[in-house]
Chain A
């Protein structure tokens, strides 16, 4: 219980530091949320500034914003005044989590078996072909992969929509594939490399010497330690597919949270950027805690329990 409380406190301090740093960095960036080509008259600008408390001193703005956040209110969006930041995040986070979760699941379901198979067939043509394709998957940026998928499956074959979001599975397939491809490639490479390392361990040689079959060796003794790096990778991978999906979301027109990072920053939508940073930051802390617990379960030596 004490350990849990300590971790919770650590997480809160981390989030506060993150939010504070972001708050002041955003305000230091040149340009403001209402700077536009067709500039509004000074009276209108003053009305807007008063409405969004921009007419107050920076410490006062920070104090009020922090107070609102503590009450669960992330404030109104500067760019989309019809919505609060809470509403925008509540609408977009499930979409990103769904797409990101599916993409990661697909990466694991395909990447791990491929990596295992490549490790078993190391040095053979399958291994070389797979590693070449995995390298390609990693090297190709999403803004190239996504339009290629659209061209093939939407424009040419007419199997799936070229973009847009209706909440149905058809509009999710191509974005999920585009999101999962680099992760799948990385997962396959990681599994292969880790398993090859484990494969040479002394305890496995001893087990082999006792006459255990290769399959038994793999499933009973090698796979569990071999997947440890994959489990450790899950945390950054999930964060990456959820928050780093701005390109895929933009190309496919998906209402996810990743776009708000980019749009929010470009529009100087202070409250939106801060809200997204806080939510993603909290998710990172949570995911890291879960992953640490899982790694501890897989290998008790990695557990931080004394």
Chain B
């Protein structure tokens, strides 16, 4: 027996149990020194959703990296806790030349997190790198208003030719070819200054702890892929943030994140899993923070394929038959609000479009839907057969089941539900060949109505409905050419109204932001883009 036990032990050891343990110990031994005790207890633990795909500010495509980069970097403009524009590295800015020239004046004594001084020339060089095609910056597409950026992106000009220059060490000038709300655009991570010497020296590894040089309130101390990232105060930032250390925890599973919050391991969650609002309120009370969020969920309608092609009455009937109030009250249930427009309320300087159907009762809408359905050429004897496609997800399944039931009950339509794995769904939706009705929606990249509407331009890669309306395109161009913000938004409103009249989509609800926040953390405020820089958070009282 002892021999047998010994053999078993040898097998287990040979499997790597001990080497693995040793490797882990070594890994920890080679890492940075652990935080001093008093600092370790003052770490803000934030849930952050999935693993950030990159910390290269110019290449960041999603929310997870955006949250962290907002702490590590500061652009020319920044946003406060409530999402309002505030000076960033630029202390002031102005627009001239009929909206075509923006001049940003930098603060004095700007420094990188390694102590070196940061000047306008470095910022311009960072923009050149951001817009070079080889960088493949996902958000660069929004900067087409800057002179030559589109040509540079297309590889027709060198990145030196972009319309961004530094006449002196403290001034950055942008030359635009059309009007744009540039300060809001500059909030995107692609607008952050990347420290090019680190990029030249370390390549893709310039984002590692020790290599990453930023200019934000925090700097990167540790990064354990798929686990967490620890940030510490950047001593060279002008205003030391109240919370010394922030740990972004990878919380891929929202239900697990909730449990970690309930156990006291997290002080702020990235989201809240779908659960009845009443239960969440009863369990977490004031810790549950729900606020409006610039995102719209809609059902897209493929205008390029039958039965929805050339049948406006059918598209209108399908829209009116959906009881959005029931969907948001009983199906989604986390504070979402019924939607009748594409651009959600709360977009800066943009007045929502008035939709007549929104003022009707649901009974009136359904009566109207039946009349339109008949006018479209369908009846109980000859019902429309339609496919509703969505990506595999339990909440979406519930939602689409409810929509299908409403179409069947109100109109007598025969609805076939089809769910697909995400990449397959994205591909099919983009091709517009086999889709009919499908899950659509948009979360704003920037606080701008154009960000939603540009998806329906004829040439847009995200024009999943296949809208091809010259008048709509012309209105977007008119908005681009408008000399004032008011005129720009007026053109955008007209464009949205036109799109809604085309009924290329069925707005369902506006998203909400959802977080759980421990009472010991203050300074948190809901805001339209759901951005919460850690530097505005603070402890209510000394942490436990």
Contacts and interface: CB of A to CB of B under 8 A. Distances in A.
A51 B136 contact: yes
Interface in A287-303: 287, 290-291, 294, 297-298
Contacts of A61: none
Given A94-B27, A255-B225, A39 B53 contact: no
Contacts of B141: 40-41, 44
A268 interface: yes
Given A43-B133, A48-B136, A101-B17, A147 B256 contact: yes
Contacts of B208: 82
A104 B140 contact: no
Given A35-B423, A81-B53, A162 B17 contact: no
A273 B229 CA distance: 24
Nearest to A104: B12
A31 B427 contact: yes
B262 A162 contact: yes
A157 to B, nearest CB: 10
Nearest to A223: B1
A88 B17 CA distance: 19
Nearest to B18: A101
B136 A164 contact: no
B260 A163 contact: yes
A31 B228 contact: no
B380 interface: no
Contacts of B227: 164-165, 253-255
B53 A38 contact: no
Contacts of B7: 294, 297-298
A165 B155 CA distance: 44
B14 interface: yes
A145 interface: no
A93 interface: yes
A27 interface: no
Contacts of B359: none
Contacts of B171: none
A44 B138 contact: yes
B21 A253 contact: no
Given A95-B24, A97-B17, A253-B256, A30 B424 contact: yes
Interface residues of B, number: 67
Given A79-B53, A298-B7, A31 B423 contact: yes
A98 B1 CA distance: 26
Given A44-B138, A80-B225, A254-B227, A238 B259 contact: no
Contacts of A36: 61, 426
B461 to A, nearest CB: 4
Interface in A251-276: 251-256, 259, 266, 268
B39 interface: no
A77 B101 CA distance: 40
Contact of A219 (B1, B12, B23): B1
Contacts, number: 199
Among A94, A165, A266, A297, the one with the most B-chain Cβ atoms within 10 Å of its Cβ is A94
Contacts of A224: 1, 4
A118 to B, nearest CB: 18
B260 to A, nearest CB: 4
B180 to A, nearest CB: 17
A251 B256 contact: yes
B426 A51 contact: no
Among B14, B227, B430, the one with the most A-chain Cβ atoms within 10 Å of its Cβ is B227
Interface in B408-459: 421-424, 426-427, 430, 445
B459 to A, nearest CB: 10
A88 B440 CA distance: 34
B255 interface: yes
A30 B225 CA distance: 27
A154 interface: yes
Contacts of A250: 252-253, 256
B134 interface: yes
Q: Is the interface of A mostly helix, strand, loop or mixed?
A: helix
Nearest to A219: B1
Nearest to B420: A30
B263 A41 contact: no
A137 interface: no
Given A31-B426, A44-B138, A150-B263, A167 B12 contact: no
A161 interface: yes
Nearest to A220: B1
A240 interface: no
Contacts of A227: 4
B56 A82 contact: yes
Contacts of B56: 81-82
Contacts of B265: 154, 161-164
16 contacts: A44-B138, A44-B153, A46-B133, A47-B133, A80-B225, A94-B21, A151-B259, A161-B260, A162-B256, A163-B251, A164-B228, A238-B15, A254-B227, A255-B250, A291-B11, A298-B7
Interface of B: 1, 4, 7-8, 11-12, 14-17, 19-21, 23-24, 27-28, 51, 53-56, 59, 61, 133-138, 140-141, 153-155, 204-205, 207-208, 224-228, 249-253, 255-256, 259-260, 262-265, 421-424, 426-427, 430, 445, 461-462
Interface of A: 29-32, 35-41, 43-44, 46-48, 51, 76, 79-83, 88, 91-95, 97-98, 101-102, 104-105, 108, 147, 150-151, 154-155, 158, 161-165, 167, 219-220, 223-224, 227, 231, 234, 238, 250-256, 259, 266, 268, 287, 290-291, 294, 297-298
Given A94-B27, A163-B251, 18 more contacts: A31-B422, A44-B153, A47-B134, A48-B136, A81-B53, A82-B56, A92-B226, A104-B12, A104-B15, A147-B259, A151-B259, A165-B227, A223-B4, A224-B1, A238-B15, A251-B253, A254-B226, A255-B224
